[in-house]
């Protein structure tokens, strides 16, 4: 039991969630390493949502609200940290949730499917091996997608993802929104919009902003997108890290 007044309470609680997901069998060993990399960057960012992160979130939410077929792509790490928030965000955005695992096994997929169902989300996509398609015919686990989900999506929200996957999606004309604490990662550079923030802060803020933006007209939403440059935003994030 971690005492509430421990100076690293939040960080340790997140580690517990990651460890629990590993024990349950749906998070691969390397997922723990990826979490550690994220922790290091969060430390450097001051473990807060920066103004910069917020700007990216506003643009991302506007993009998702204007999408025809928006998909939230989830993996073991992101599910371990924010499953309830993913489900709430999907509902508000009218988006679908699709599981995409680099270390895909039948067992991991079955555990995650059941987990989403037990949290009240029934139709999670990407669970049927036989029905998976390969984007651009690239026969790699990084290119798998379900027909009504990522395969036909115009906007895909990915988090804690690696660069190969992001590259395949971008090359296939998907508008990719990434949540990644590392502004130097290949994913961060590849995505159309990168939210440099911890997923545990970013998704709740996306929910809050999506509720607000649902009542805005398309002109307003488009202006939020047009005023955003991913390149500049990433450079600003690096500046923040240097100054923290």
Among 32, 87, 162, 238, binds ligand ATP (CB under 6 A): 162
Which residues 63-82 are close enough to bind ligand ATP by CB under 6 A?
81
3-state per-residue secondary structure call for the chain: CCCCCCCCHHHHHHHHHHHHHHHHCCCCHHHHHHHHHHHHHHHHHCCCCCHHHHHHHHHHHHHHHHCCCEEEEECHHHHHHHHHHHHHHHHHHCCEEEECCCCCCHHHHHHHHHHHHHCCCCCCECCCHHHCEEHHHCCCHHHEECCCCHHHCCEEEEECCCHHHHHHHHHCCCEEEEECCCCCCHHHHHCCEEECCCHHHHHHHHHHHHHHHCCCCHHHHHHHHHCCCHHHHHHHHHHHHHHC
From 32-40, 84-92, 139-147, 169-177, give the range in contact with ligand ATP by CB under 6 A. Answer: 32-40
Binding status of residue 179 toward ligand ATP by CB under 6 A:
yes
Token pair for 56:
């990216």
Is 34 near ligand ATP (CB under 6 A)? yes
Q: How far is the CB of 218 from ligand ATP (least distance, A)?
A: 29
Does residue 38 interact with ligand ATP by CB under 6 A?
Answer: yes
Measured from the CB of residue 148, what is the shortest distance to ligand ATP in angstroms?
Answer: 26
Binding site: which residues? Answer: 15, 37, 180-182, 186-187, 198-199
Decide if residue 186 touches ligand ATP (CB under 6 A).
yes
Asked if 37 touches ligand ATP (CB under 6 A), the answer is yes
Q: Which two tokens stand for residue 105?
A: 């096994």
Could you say whether residue 187 binds ligand ATP (CB under 6 A)? yes
- Residue 124 near residue 99, CB atoms below 8 Å: yes
Residues 192-221 that bind ligand ATP (CB under 6 A): 198-199
Using CA atoms, how far apart are residues 98 and 113, in angstroms rounded to an integer? 10
Would you list which residues are annotated within the binding site for ATP? Answer: 15, 37, 180-182, 186-187, 198-199
Q: Does the protein bind ligand ATP through residue 104 (CB under 6 A)?
A: no
Q: How far is the CB of 74 from ligand ATP (least distance, A)?
A: 13
Task: Give the range of 20-28, 58-66, 115-123, 176-184 binding ligand ATP by CB under 6 A.
Answer: 176-184
Rule CB under 6 A: choose which of 181, 205, 209, 241 binds ligand ATP.
181
Considering the rule CB under 6 A, would residue 47 count as an interface residue with ligand ATP? no
């Amino acid at each position: 039991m971690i005492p509430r007044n421990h100076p690293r309470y939040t960080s340790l609680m997140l580690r517990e969630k990651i460890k629990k997901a590993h024990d349950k069998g749906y998070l691969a060993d390397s997922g723990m390493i990826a979490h550690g990399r994220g922790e290091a960057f969060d430390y450097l960012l001051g473990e807060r949502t920066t103004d910069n992160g917020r700007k990216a979130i506003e643009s991302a939410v506007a993009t998702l609200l204007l999408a025809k077929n928006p998909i939230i792509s989830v993996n073991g790490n992101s599910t371990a940290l924010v499953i309830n928030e993913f489900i709430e965000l999907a509902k508000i955005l009218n988006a679908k949730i699709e599981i995409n695992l680099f270390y895909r096994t039948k067992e991991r997929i079955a555990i995650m499917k059941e987990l989403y169902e037990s949290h009240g989300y029934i139709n999670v996509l990407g669970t049927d091996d036989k029905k998976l398609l390969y984007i651009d015919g690239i026969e790699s686990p990084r290119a798998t997608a379900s027909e009504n989900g990522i395969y036909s999506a115009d906007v895909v929200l990915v988090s804690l993802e690696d660069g190969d996957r992001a590259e395949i999606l971008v090359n296939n004309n998907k508008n990719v929104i990434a949540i990644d604490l590392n502004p130097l990662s290949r994913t961060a550079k590849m995505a159309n919009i990168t939210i440099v923030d911890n997923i545990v802060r970013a998704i709740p803020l996306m929910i809050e902003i999506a509720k607000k933006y649902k009542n805005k007209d398309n002109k307003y939403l488009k202006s939020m997108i047009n005023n955003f440059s991913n390149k500049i935003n990433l450079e600003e994030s690096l500046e923040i890290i240097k100054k923290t």
